[in-house]
Amino acid sequence: MSYAGRILHVDLTTGQNRVDPLDRRLIQDYLGGWGLNARLAYDLIKPGVASLSPENPIIFGAGLLGGTPCPGAGAKAFVTTRCPSSGVVGTGVSGGWLSSMLKWAGYDHLVVTGRADRPVYLHVQDGQVSLRDARRFWGLDLVQATDALREECGSRAVIATIGPAGERQAPISILMENKSGTLGRSVGGVMGSKNLKAIVVEGNRGVKVARKGAFMKLVDRLSKEARGDPLRDNWVRDSLYFIVPVWAKAGHLIYRNWSQVYPEERAVARFGPQEYQKIKLSTVACASCLTGDKSVVEVRGPEGSHPFWAACPLVATLAYGLRSDLDNVGQAFDLHDRATRYGLDSVTTSALIDWAVDLYEKGIINRADTGGMELRAGYETTISLMGQMVRGEGFGGLLSQGWGVAMAELGPEAAKHAVQIKGSDPDFDARVSLGVETLGSVVNPRGAHDMPVGGITIAVGRKPDFFAKVSARMGFPAEAKDRVTLEPGGENLGRYLAHYEDWCTILNSFGICFRMQVSRLYDIDTCAQLFTAATGRETSGADLTRAAQRVYNLYRAANVRQGFSRADDRVPPQWSSQPLRWEDGREMRLTDYYRTRPVNENNVSSLIDSYYDERGWDIRSGVPTRNTLEGLGLSGVAGDLAREGRLPND
């Protein structure tokens, strides 16, 4: 139990739909959510399929515990497709209500294929499925479309919508649920290519668990721990803004195209929690979350004031406040609001603009390249370029095509200054902290998007005994303890990362939020008990870890089939060749996490070697070996890779 037991398939070309039963063995083997999406993606996304073709499916999934009251586990929804910005088979994650509502409507997963002959939206309500005309919503911005659809479909429905950038099939366009949960950084373009403006889901069926008493006992314990969190008030009051002074001191706040640390005093004065509080209107929580850290803020732009729903409020500062070097947090939210309405991903949009300004200042590009526009960091340049991005015009239109197209068009000298991995920009810089998040962003198949459960190595200065303690909580195998210990020098970081990713995969498959206030509640034994109580199938922590290994290998294999290999797992050259500079002249260069020794490209290559070895992947190619795949029950995958000439010799 705990799952609806059904997968809904919708073909936009024919307008037909069907329902497939969810084989219970798939739950045992792939857990649910992110894991089952990986299985469906491997089976349905064919090698070489064009991202914007009708044949590229969009796969939505609810976490195993979606729809239940388990703290922080009811919110996470997943969407998997071949991404137009990078070509990877990637999975976007959203917090909100889509996961629970999809379960309550009677489905664990939704697969959308084909292309409608006119703009439509998909309406799913308690087992009733229909495609409805969306021509009157086409052209509306993301917020306008969401509000209009809510008027038509009711206040309880969850609405996942694209904006004009998605309609134009811009590779860096987003899909967003209920105006406050971003489903991937490039899914909007795939939706637009299918003439699909939105997906609307409403359900009233609820979810049953197999052993209600045992399940609710666990929920009660976790809820008590969540309410007793000493930092709970900080999260609810300040969202992630309470971390701004800490990150500013550590050097995590970076601007000028990843070359300089934003001045600490200026960061706190302009973007600290006291400034955020001046525009915050209310706190918002995802389904089953007891420590809500989303918010509604008041945006005060040139056109007047209006509310803005912020999924991760700190993104406004990280994306625009720092990179555009704005005067205050209000300007940052104004730009974040504009990008959201356009349906542009703020993180990548701001990174591309930051890169372009750097190129202009260095003389690598000039007015002839920018269509006569002078580029400088600031509010006006950012607004102008975003307007071009959403319309697909001029220099901004080029940037809206994403890193790959923009680098190719602007030339090799410009490409040297692009800080990106597999066509996407990283969330953190390894020169500040070389840990599981930053090395993970290099080897992650979906590009530079890390899996930051609790930010365990983003927080600098933690001791080896901390990592030994959390390793046990995350279910690292006992036999690997000595091999993966994270000690000064950092030689075992790659091995540690492999097991850390397995833990991330378990949480993702359950639908458990990665944010610190939620993920800290869970350990491997609790997850095993929750799985047993929810499904009625006796499961151990070791069983979950093995399932996670199966999922992650399948995820890697899906991208190997699209042509990705070790050659794509590359560190941005700036990390190893250039220092990050503070305003006072201090520098940060790439070192191990404990800052006991310098690290260069060869050292990073060795870390990747050890990561592959721990995973059971071929060190030369980064492809899972036959022995590894067959040992995880993936003989069919091994056969596919062998027939396609991609399987390494054991």
- Is residue 450 pLDDT above 70, yes or no? no
Task: Write out pLDDT tens, residues 124-183.
Answer: 999 899 999 999 999 999 999 999 999 999 999 999 999 999 999 999 999 999 998 888
Q: Among the residues of 363-411, which ranges form H helices?
A: 367-370, 379-391, 394-399, 403-410
DSSP 393: -
- Chain-centroid distance of CA 246 in Å reads 23
Which amino acid does the sequence have at 528? Answer: A
For residue 556, give its domain range: 436-643
Domain end residue (candidates: 381, 416, 451): 416
Q: Are residues 379 and 341 in the same domain?
A: yes
CATH number, domain at 311? 1.10.569.10
With respect to residue 222, please indicate whether it lies within any of the assigned structural domains: no
CATH number, domain at 187? 3.60.9.10
- Is residue 225 pLDDT above 90, yes or no? yes
With respect to residue 227, please indicate whether it lies within any of the assigned structural domains: no
With respect to residue 214, please indicate whether it lies within any of the assigned structural domains: no
The stretch 224-231 carries a mean pLDDT of 93
Per the structure block, which two tokens stand in for 57? 């499916």
Instruction: State how far the alpha carbon of 41 is from the alpha carbons of 14, 48, 146, 164, 256, in Å.
Output: 21, 13, 28, 27, 37
Place of tokens 């694209």: 162
Report the mean per-residue pLDDT for the chain: 95
- Is residue 2 pLDDT above 80, yes or no? no
Q: Are residues 249 and 195 in the same domain?
A: no
Q: Are residues 412 and 442 in the same domain?
A: no
The stretch 241-266 carries a mean pLDDT of 96
Task: Write out pLDDT tens, residues 589-645.
Answer: 999 999 999 999 999 999 999 999 999 999 999 999 999 999 999 999 999 999 999
H or E segment at 19? strand 16-21
The stretch 362-377 carries a mean pLDDT of 97
Q: Are residues 517 and 380 in the same domain?
A: no
Domain end residue (candidates: 365, 387, 416): 416
Instruction: State how far the alpha carbon of 313 is from the alpha carbons of 235, 265, 330, in Å.
Output: 11, 20, 12
Q: Write the burial class of residue 102 (CB in 10 Å: 0-12 exposed, 13-18 middle, 19+ buried).
A: buried
With respect to residue 217, please indicate whether it lies within any of the assigned structural domains: no
- Is residue 578 pLDDT above 90, yes or no? yes
Give the model's confidence band at 253: pLDDT under 50 very low, under 70 low, under 90 confident, else very high: very high
Contact 611, 586 (CB under 8 A): no
Contact 197, 146 (CB under 8 A): no
DSSP 228: T
Q: Are residues 441 and 551 in the same domain?
A: yes
Q: Which of 299-303, 470-474, 510-514 has the lowest mean pLDDT?
A: 299-303
With respect to residue 13, please indicate whether it lies within any of the assigned structural domains: yes
Task: Write out pLDDT tens, residues 95-131.
Answer: 899 999 999 999 999 999 999 999 999 999 998 999 9
Instruction: State how far the alpha carbon of 462 is from the alpha carbons of 244, 353, 584, in Å.
Output: 19, 34, 26
- Is residue 21 pLDDT above 90, yes or no? yes
Taken as a whole, the chain contains a residue count of 650
Give the model's confidence band at 449: pLDDT under 50 very low, under 70 low, under 90 confident, else very high: low
Q: Are residues 174 and 285 in the same domain?
A: no
Task: Write out pLDDT tens, residues 41-62.
Answer: 999 999 999 999 999 999 999 9
Q: Are residues 516 and 487 in the same domain?
A: yes
- Is residue 326 pLDDT above 90, yes or no? yes
What is residue 265's predicted lDDT score, i.e. its pLDDT?
96
**Phi, psi of 596, rounded to the nearest 5 degrees:** -100, -15
With respect to residue 519, please indicate whether it lies within any of the assigned structural domains: yes
- Report how far residue 404's alpha carbon sits from residue 388's, in angstroms, rounded to the nearest whole number: 18
CATH number, domain at 498? 1.10.599.10
- Report how far residue 580's alpha carbon sits from residue 254's, in angstroms, rounded to the nearest whole number: 9
Sheet with strand 128-133: strands edge to edge: 128-133, 120-125, 196-202, 158-162, 175-177, 181-182
Q: Are residues 118 and 249 in the same domain?
A: no
Which amino acid does the sequence have at 503? Answer: W
Long-range Cβ contacts of 361-365 (<8 Å, 24+ apart): 362/417, 364/410, 364/413, 364/414, 364/417, 365/410, 365/414
Give the chain's domain count.
Answer: 3
The stretch 377-390 carries a mean pLDDT of 97
Q: Which of 573, 326, 611 is nearest to 497 (CA)?
A: 611
Q: Write the burial class of residue 479 (CB in 10 Å: 0-12 exposed, 13-18 middle, 19+ buried).
A: exposed
- Is residue 1 pLDDT above 70, yes or no? no
- Report how far residue 592's alpha carbon sits from residue 598's, in angstroms, rounded to the nearest whole number: 7
Place of tokens 């139990």: 1
Give helix then strand counts, H and E, for the chain.
Answer: 30, 19
What is residue 516's predicted lDDT score, i.e. its pLDDT?
85
Q: Are residues 49 and 184 in the same domain?
A: yes
With respect to residue 429, please indicate whether it lies within any of the assigned structural domains: no
Task: Write out pLDDT tens, residues 339-357.
Answer: 999 999 999 999 999 999 9
- Report how far residue 138's alpha carbon sits from residue 337's, in angstroms, rounded to the nearest whole number: 19
Cβ–Cβ contacts within 10 Å for residue 526, how many? 15
Q: Are residues 52 and 91 in the same domain?
A: yes
Q: Are residues 182 and 247 in the same domain?
A: no
Domain end residue (candidates: 181, 202, 223): 202
With respect to residue 210, please indicate whether it lies within any of the assigned structural domains: no
In degrees, to the nearest 5, what angle opens at C-alpha 72 toward C-alphas 452 and 307? Answer: 90
Give the model's confidence band at 650: pLDDT under 50 very low, under 70 low, under 90 confident, else very high: low
| CB burial string 317-337: b at 16+ within 10 A, e below | bbbbbbbbbbebbbbbbbbbb
- Report how far residue 466's alpha carbon sits from residue 326's, in angstroms, rounded to the nearest whole number: 37
Q: Which of 2-6, 160-164, 195-199 has the lowest mean pLDDT?
A: 2-6
Q: Are residues 183 and 318 in the same domain?
A: no
